[in-house]
């Protein structure tokens, strides 16, 4: 039996880089909590999971670009079938809320897989959290287009929106989000597996 490839989950920011902040809450802490919860649930569903960080550290404190490169390298080195970065959004207008899933522009099988995974995550968020806005967008950010494995980035809510900020710091809400993400990733993985089998 060949080794099962992992899905690499990437909690955004960490260490000296707190990410977005509001009301004394740091994005990096929410990202880590939600990612850990998602990882736990994926493992319980039988998937192999790798994390770019599992504590409050920067992967490369010399620069943000180097830090992101290091994260992409982890996903490539462990031969992940997908690379999923988890972030919390922030914007000047505090009325803006909801989720955003990004996938890389361009063509090729990695990009197609990334787009399909992004759509699966977006649809799951829409189904499970029907009373908030959900967006999906193609993106040219280096973190996605320079990834050698299918990469998506999920912004799970807005720290700048008081209501979502309260929800995102709630452990039960974090668990709900994690379950939605984990189920979508598991279903997507199973679909990929049966497609691979069907085409030999
Ligand atoms: Zn972020």
Residue 103 phi/psi, 5-degree rounding, is: -135, 155
C-alpha 84 – ligand 1 centre gap (Å): 13
Query: What confidence score (pLDDT) does residue 2 get?
Result: 59
Q: Taking each helix axis from N to C terminus, what angle separates 171-198 and 109-128, rounded to the nearest 10 degrees?
A: 140
Rounded distance between C-alpha atoms, residue 14 and residue 26, angstroms: 9
Query: What confidence score (pLDDT) does residue 181 get?
Result: 98
pLDDT in tens, the chain (200 residues): 457 899 999 999 999 999 999 999 999 999 999 999 999 999 999 999 999 999 999 999 899 999 999 999 999 999 999 999 999 999 999 999 999 999 999 999 999 999 999 999 999 999 999 999 999 999 999 999 999 999 999 999 999 999 999 999 999 999 999 999 999 999 999 999 888 888 76
The count of residues in the chain is 200
β-pairing, 49-51 vs 7-11, is parallel
Query: What confidence score (pLDDT) does residue 197 get?
Result: 83
Sheet of strand 7-11: strand arrangement: 49-51, 7-11, 82-89, 151-158, 99-104, 134-139
C-alpha 12 – ligand 1 centre gap (Å): 5
Check: CB of residue 110 under 8 Å from CB of residue 149: yes
Could you count the other beta carbons within 10 Å of the beta carbon of residue 77? 11
The topology (CATH level 3) of 7-198 is Aminopeptidase (3.40.630)
C-alpha 196 – ligand 1 centre gap (Å): 34
Q: Is the pTM of this model over 0.85?
A: yes
Check: CB of residue 179 under 8 Å from CB of residue 41: yes
C-alpha 20 – ligand 1 centre gap (Å): 6
C-alpha 87 – ligand 1 centre gap (Å): 5
- Dihedral sign from CA coordinates of 137, 142, 144, 150: positive
C-alpha 109 – ligand 1 centre gap (Å): 27
Three-class SS state of 133 = coil
């Amino acid at each position: 039996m060949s080794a099962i490839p992992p899905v690499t989950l990437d909690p955004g920011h960490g260490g000296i880089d707190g990410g977005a902040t509001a009301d004394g809450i740091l994005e990096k802490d929410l990202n880590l909590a939600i990612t850990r919860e998602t990882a736990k649930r994926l493992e319980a569903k039988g998937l192999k999971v790798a994390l770019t960080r599992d504590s409050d550290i920067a992967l490369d404190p010399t620069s943000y670009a180097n830090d992101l490169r290091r994260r992409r390298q982890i996903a490539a080195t462990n031969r992940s079938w997908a690379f999923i970065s988890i972030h919390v959004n922030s914007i000047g207008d505090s009325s803006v809320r909801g989720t955003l899933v990004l996938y890389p522009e361009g063509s090729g099988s990695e990009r197609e897989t990334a787009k399909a995974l992004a759509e699966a995550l977006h649809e799951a968020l829409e189904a499970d959290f029907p009373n908030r806005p959900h967006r999906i967008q193609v993106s040219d950010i280096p973190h996605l287009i320079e990834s050698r494995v299918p990469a998506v980035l999920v912004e799970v809510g807005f720290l700048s929106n008081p209501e979502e900020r309260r929800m995102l710091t709630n452990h039960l809400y974090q668990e709900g989000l994690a379950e939605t993400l984990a189920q979508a990733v598991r279903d997507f993985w199973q679909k990929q597996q049966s497609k691979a089998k069907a085409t030999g």
